[in-house]
Amino acid sequence: MKRKNNVNETVNNQPVVDGEEILDGVLRWVDVESPSHDPDAVNHMADHVEEGLAMIGMKVERTLGRDGYGDILKARTPWGEGPGILVLSHIDTVHALGTKDGANPIRREGDKVYGPGIYDMKAGAYIAFYAIRHIIRQGKETPLPLTFMYIPEEEVGSPTSRDMIIEEAKKNKYVLVTEPAREGGKIVTARNGRLEYEISVTGRPSHAGARHMDGRNAIKEMAHQIIKLEGLTDYDRSLTCSVGTITGGTMTNVVPSECSVTVDIRVPDMETAEEVMAIVEGLEPVDPDCSITVTGGVDRPPYDKFEGIAVLFEHAKKVAAKIGFELQDLKTGGGSDGNFTGALGIPTLDGLGADGHGAHSFDEYIYFSSLEERTKLMIGLMNTLE
Ligand SMILES: [Zn+2]
């Protein structure tokens, strides 16, 4: 792809927010593929981010990865003290290495720019970086100090970074999350929560022919439980329950004594979460000779558009209006690291990344035309939040 070389574009010696320049940086980050489960690849990506942050004078801390995940980056502006703004991005993607060479090559077709993880969320992560770099290039400081976190395993639920995210969020007044924009540029002001469970049934094995009556079929018992679980779904309440995986049995001619499933449940609020948890954790076997064990619980807590978020959103709307567009918001069923911070009661705006389509698919792209606008919104928020 041909790109014009326009790094450090200026007008009257003042740096301008330039879409081509932003895209250039986004594509350099997309080019470094970083699947969550490949710590070396994610760390290679972290090297790029760290280098960029250090170059503009940010104070960078790098926490070594563990449990098979990459390193966690945290960077602070050199100015300001006390509670400020936490800007949350993740640098992992769901795509395997080589996706850019096969299933979704990096390319530009009209306003669409394709590539693995470009929409979710290399573009958003880069927008945050570009925004602070722009402010620093202008020789300005923001009213509040900024802390950036670049998370290595958000796509698998942030198992190694969530405590750090929560700890950092508590020290800040606001949280801005650079997940992709939704449905024509909407940002996210509320999220459903997610519960995750593994449920196992133990029955009794026997010969499937000669001693069928002695067996207690764990798969049959699980079938009853699956119907109960799926029956929790109530679209009117934004409550869904999906049995996602199932394993059980050993041989066709053996009455199976083991069966287990994993379950994904989405809830609109904590009250619903508690109601559902009581049901799932209290599941009773239909056949009293079988036993059920349930492990799991809240993966990501839900949060509503509470007062603090509503005020923050109204502020963001004004910033957008000044730039020249109308900002809208929505509640989404999907989870992000914003769940941790929103559920703590810290005003959180999510979905501040690029507009586009096809997260987690091979048809993933961003709209080039959204880059400038979203970057200006991010810069505007950084410059005006007090
Ligand atoms: Zn994401």
* In a shared domain, residues 291 and 308: no
12 CA distance to ligand 1 middle (Å): 37
Extract the residue ranges of the chain whose pLDDT is less than 70: 1-13
Q: Is residue 261 part of a domain?
A: yes
Q: Do 241 and 99 sit in the same domain of this protein?
A: no
Give yes or no: residues 132 and 147 share one domain. yes
CA distances to 22, 29, 195, 227 from 25, in Å = 5, 7, 36, 49
Q: Is residue 131 part of a domain?
A: yes
Tell me, what's the pLDDT at 1?
46
Indicate if 328 and 235 belong to the same structural domain.
no
Q: Are both 242 and 185 inside the same structural domain?
A: no
Same domain, 54 and 166: yes
259 CA distance to ligand 1 middle (Å): 32
Number of domains in the chain: 2
Residues 20 and 161 grouped into a single domain: yes
pLDDT value at residue 4: 46
The residue among 64, 26, 47 whose CA lies nearest residue 354 is 26
On the CB side of 146, how many CA atoms lie within 13 Å of its CA? Answer: 27
The domain boundary, picked from 278, 300, 322, lies at 300
In a shared domain, residues 313 and 255: no
CA 231 to ligand 1 center in whole angstroms: 29
Residue 21 Ramachandran class (φ > 0 left, ψ -120 to 50 alpha, else beta): alpha
Say how many Å lie between the CA of residue 188 and the centre of ligand 1. 12
- The answer on 138 and 76 residing in a single domain is yes
CA dist 66 and 70 (Å) reads 7
User: 351 is in which domain, residue-wise?
Assistant: 10-191+302-384
Buried b (16+ CB within 10 A) or exposed e, 100-119: beeebebebeeebbbbbbbb
In the reported structure, the alpha carbon of residue 74 is separated from the centroid of ligand 1 by a whole-number distance in angstroms of 18
Distance (Å) from CA 5 to ligand 1 centroid: 29
Q: How far is the CA of 334 from the centre of ligand 1 (A)?
A: 10
Residue 293: predicted pLDDT: 98
Residues 368 and 240 in one domain: no
* Ligand 1 centroid – CA 150 distance (Å): 12
Render pLDDT for 127-140 as a digit per residue (tens, 0 to 9): 999 999 999 999 99
3-state SS string for 87-108 = EEEECCECCCCCHHHCCCCCEE
Asked if residue 299 lies in contact with residue 271, where contact means CB atoms within 8 angstroms, the answer is: no
CA distances from 106 to 17, 61, 64, 379 (A): 23, 31, 30, 27
- Check whether residue 317 and residue 222 sit in a common domain: no
Question: 5 in a domain, yes or no?
Answer: no
CATH of the domain at 91: 3.40.630.10
Residue-level pLDDT at 81: 87
105 and 180 assigned to the same domain: yes
- Which of 300, 334, 351 represents a domain boundary (last residue)? 300
What CATH number does residue 278 fall under? 3.30.70.360
Q: How far is the CA of 147 from the centre of ligand 1 (A)?
A: 19
| Final residue in a domain of this structure, among 246, 272, 300 | 300
